[in-house]
Amino acid sequence: MLIVPIFYLKKMICNFKNVNGDAQMKKITVLFVCTGNICRSPTAEGVFVKLLQEKNLTAYFDVDSAGTHAYHIGEAPDLRSQQAAKQRGIDLSQQRARQVVFGDFEKYDYLLVMDHDNFHILQQTCPKAYQFKIQYLLDYAPELKTKQVPDPYYGGKNGFETVLDMIEQAAIGFFKHITHIGKTVNRLILEKRHGDN
């Protein structure tokens, strides 16, 4: 599984604020990125939000998607993506395409890309301090043995189903990763409190 730099764990710990004696963490921010933000990344956003809803955890996350290019700004996801997702209980209809902006590199904890082109484009514009945030979504589904979610835009119906299958597997893996990080942060907080006493 991917390793999060220790200084980033420390930053996450610093995000905790004491409210009436309780620890409350700022939202974990996740941005899914593809090329035009009408097929793969909105699907990933919808899949991950549904997963969070099922676990009653949406209040702890800020999830969005964007594209590396400005082809479809303001448009709803591709109807084929919407239809495929709807068959699995996922509603993409309220999403609207946007392009990645410079501020996203600071705002989001994770920028999860769909293919090599997305990865390299983000790397070229991202400040060095935030480069570690850019990751392949499919790194969280190593069993698929590929880093690339294929673009279904020019393919048939089966392409959208394949994309959903791959993204669902990766979303589960990513959630497990987040859970592991959360446990690590909690342990470090307890150790810090113990050391302060």
Cα distances from 23 to residues 11, 26, 29, 50, 67, in angstroms, run 15, 10, 18, 26, 35
Q: Indicate which residue of 62, 117, 139, 151 is catalytic.
A: 151
Angle at 77 between CA 33 and CA 160, to 5 degrees: 80
Active site residue 80: no
Among 197, 155, 156, 178, residue whose Cα is nearest residue 63:
178
Longest dimension (CA), the chain: 62
Q: Indicate which residue of 22, 39, 40, 80 is catalytic.
A: 40
| Residue 18, C-beta contacts closer than 8 angstroms, at least 6 positions apart | 24
Residues in the chain: 197
Active site residue 151: yes
Active site residue 14: no
Number of Cβ atoms within 10 Å of the Cβ of 142? 13
Q: Indicate which residue of 14, 22, 34, 139 is catalytic.
A: 34
Active-site amino acid positions: 34, 40, 151
